[in-house]
Amino acid sequence: MPSGPRGAPISPPEGRAPRGPAFVRLALMHVEYFMNNVKMHEYVRDNEDCKGLIRNALTEMYNLNMYGPSSSDFGHLLSRPRLPGAILFAIGGWSGGSPTNAIETYDSRADQWVNVTCEQEGPLAYHGTAYFKGFIYVVGGFDSSDYFSSVKRFDPLKKTWQQVAPMHSRRCYVSVAVLNNFLYAMGGFDGHTRLNTAERYQPETNQWTLIAPMHEQRSDASATTLHGKVYICGGFNGAECLITAEAYDATTHQWTLIAPMSSRRSGVGVIAYRNQVYADEGQESAC
């Protein structure tokens, strides 16, 4: 309820109900606080509109206590947490000896992972992911039998999936990056050979376009962007893990080999931070 100096309550205008409770996640309150401070408050107790809201909140509190969060991920407005400003997504991967369709999200403020798996989506591993213009793109991958050229994107606000145009090549162990108005997919494995080809996607036209091939065949590499260029590092060429790295200049449409890393790295992680490219972990020799 609104309050004045020293916490003194302020009455709402005559004949008008307080609007605040309709926008509060009442069912997420502690029961004791709700019963003593909300349900019994004079503004709520004497208002017909609020009485219905209180009944709904009590029902949802009971459901949460008895059954836990619903399979619809807090579908009721009174118990649905507000979306945090930033969420980390973990999509698919390898689990229990096979690809999985599991999706989890992590909220750093709550220090909590939440399972948001969509059972209609099939299992997928060794794909690439990137956040681009409000969507999470899932690129290529492997489902234990097929290698995919398909691409789909997830709308985290609407919680819906949409297929977009497929790539020119099947790619698992693919490297992806976002630069300017394009999503890049580089290298990977098509089920027969490690690839040096690369292509980029423009959402406005829903088309993939092949760009210049890389100097090396690379699967299991990793990519990032810095100062208008796409950098790709390490990987596996089918015979050995790679120490090399190269950069794509989107203005000249050319790849250039840059200084090699100090170690061979396949399954490497690569990020750009403060004007530098970092390569972390990976393995030095093929299994």
Q: Is the pLDDT of residue 261 over 70?
A: yes
Residues 77 and 62: their CA atoms lie apart, in Å, by 15
Alpha-carbon distance 128 to 239, whole Å? 22
Please report which confidence band the pLDDT of residue 77 belongs to, taking 50, 70 and 90 as the band edges: very low
pTM for the model: 0.73
Give residue 157's pLDDT band: very low, low, confident or very high (50, 70, 90): confident
> Who wins on pLDDT, 82 or 92?
92
Is 243 buried (19+), middle (13-18) or exposed (0-12) by CB count in 10 A?
middle
Quick one: pLDDT band at residue 51, thresholds 50, 70, 90? low
Domain regions of the chain by residue span:
19-79, 83-121, 126-280
A 10 A CB-CB count for 11 gives 10
Reported as half-sphere exposure (CB side, CA atoms, 13 A), residue 242 has a value of 26
* 83 or 38, greater pLDDT: 38
Q: Which residues pair with 51 in a beta bridge?
A: none
Poorest-pLDDT segment among 35-44, 83-92, 117-126, 222-231? 35-44
User: What integer is the mean pLDDT of 131-159?
Assistant: 94
- Our CA dihedral for 216, 126, 210, 237, rounded to 10 degrees, sits at 10
- Tell me the mean pLDDT in the region 96-111: 88
User: What class has domain 126-280?
Assistant: mainly beta
Is residue 173 scored above 80 in pLDDT? yes
Q: Is the pLDDT of residue 212 over 80?
A: yes
Q: What are phi and psi of 162, to 5 degrees?
A: -145, 130
